[in-house]
Amino acid sequence: MRIRITLNRALRQSITMRLQQADRSGAIRLIKRIHALLALIDEGKTVKEVAEFFKLGEQTVRDYLNEFCRRREASLSYKRPPGRPAKLTKSQRKELKELIEAGPEAAGYSSACWSAVIIQDLMGVRFGVTYHPRYICMLLDQIGFSFQKARFVSDHLDKAARLQWRSELWPQIRKLAKTKNALILFGDEASFAQWGSLSYTWAPKGQQPTVKTSGKRKAYKGFGLIAFGTCQLFWKAHTGRFNSDRYAAFLTEVLDQTHQHLILIQDGARYHTSKVMQFFFAQHATRLSVFQLLAYLPDFNPIEKFWKNVKKEATHLKYFPTFDKLVSAVDQTLLTFSQLPSAILSVMSSYCESLGAPA
């Protein structure tokens, strides 16, 4: 059945004004309602045709028409349907925070990454509340969340070992250092590739930053030690492989540069624990005490963070057309850091905070 209704000039102007108001306010439902009515009245479309085109139920279209015939332009308004207010209560915010911390998979989603759209769906399903994704980001900021890159954590991390280090081994090392008036040294190695290293930086939207690279695999390598409490840095760089002979030569230089007893904390790399090194440590037992950092505890070695800071300054987003350019950049950065106790102090402060111990 086709509808035949004639609109006078005043009524048409009123409808046009209502349509403009709906467009400015973003009232999508009202815009669709007015266009559906105009399709019925001006274009002579059937109820079925209008319903299919606007993806509405036929009864909904009939209701639009009946209401318009009864109330004219007064029917062209949209009121939010009654129900739960479009905001979260205090208890719902707390529950939302717990759900987000548990992760999307725990909430039944296939993705392991939260996005504003997924959280929007979660809020609709759990609380019957609808937020625009833009306001969801503001809400997340208010309840203590930020959009950030995740990091890997080994599934081998041993909580018991971590507790043992914090509560037993570390106090034992501090006590030994006090007894012998010793210097506590944290050791580790780092490798700097000629092809450079990537990092985050600000750039125009839609334009991913690019960095030239030589593509060469050659690397500049270095041994390092930082002293707990005194902010001293000992380092030695080379172009060959890490091995026990080079490690022993480096430690010999450090022994020659110091007069105190040294307490060396090292990881379990093979060239640290080889027969060559066992013999070396036995020879220098009067000056050198060695403690092995327990497996899977890299965050308990503050020099790890120091090497990251060196790479950030020396190689991140930089182009090295020649190996000499790389060597110069790394050497200059290490020299600068060795003359800046604050650079070592900041690393140590973070480490001591994680242990709950004063620097």
As a whole number, mean pLDDT of residues 19-27 equals 75
User: Residue 215: what pLDDT?
Assistant: 81
* SS3 of residue 301 by DSSP: coil
3-state secondary structure of 46: strand
**Residues 185-219 pLDDT 10s:** 999 999 999 998 888 887 787 788 888 888 888 99
Query: What average pLDDT does the segment 145-163 reach?
Result: 70
Which of 82-91, 177-186, 230-239, 338-347 has the lowest average pLDDT? 82-91
Domain regions of the chain by residue span: 9-75, 90-142, 159-355
Mean pLDDT of the chain: 84
Q: In sequence order, what DSSP letters do the residues of 83-150 get, joined into one string?
A: SS-SS--HHHHHHHHHHHHH-TGGGT-S-SS--HHHHHHHHHHHH-----HHHHHHHHHHTT------
Query: 326: which 2 tokens?
Result: 């790389």
Pair 222, 235: CB distance under 8 Å:
yes
Higher-confidence residue of 249 and 13: namely: 249
Per-residue pLDDT at 43 exceeds 60: yes
pLDDT at position 356 is 47
CA distance 245 to 239: 14
Strand pairing class (262-266; 288-292): parallel
Q: Which residue has the higher pLDDT, 249 or 60?
A: 249
Whole-number Cα distances in Å, 153 to 19, 148, 157, 297? 56, 16, 8, 11
The pLDDT of residue 88: 86
d(CA 243, CA 38): 83
Which stretches does DSSP call E strand in 206-284? 219-227, 233-238, 262-266
Rg (CA), the chain: 34
Task: Tokens for 171, please give them.
Answer: 């106090």
pTM: 0.58
Q: Quick one: pLDDT band at residue 358, thresholds 50, 70, 90?
A: very low
Q: Give domain 159-355's CATH architecture.
A: 2-Layer Sandwich (3.30)
Residue 300 has which token pair? Answer: 């308990």
320 CB-contact burial (10 Å; exposed 0-12 / middle 13-18 / buried 19+): buried
Query: For residue 167, what pLDDT is reported?
Result: 82
pLDDT of 254 above 90: yes
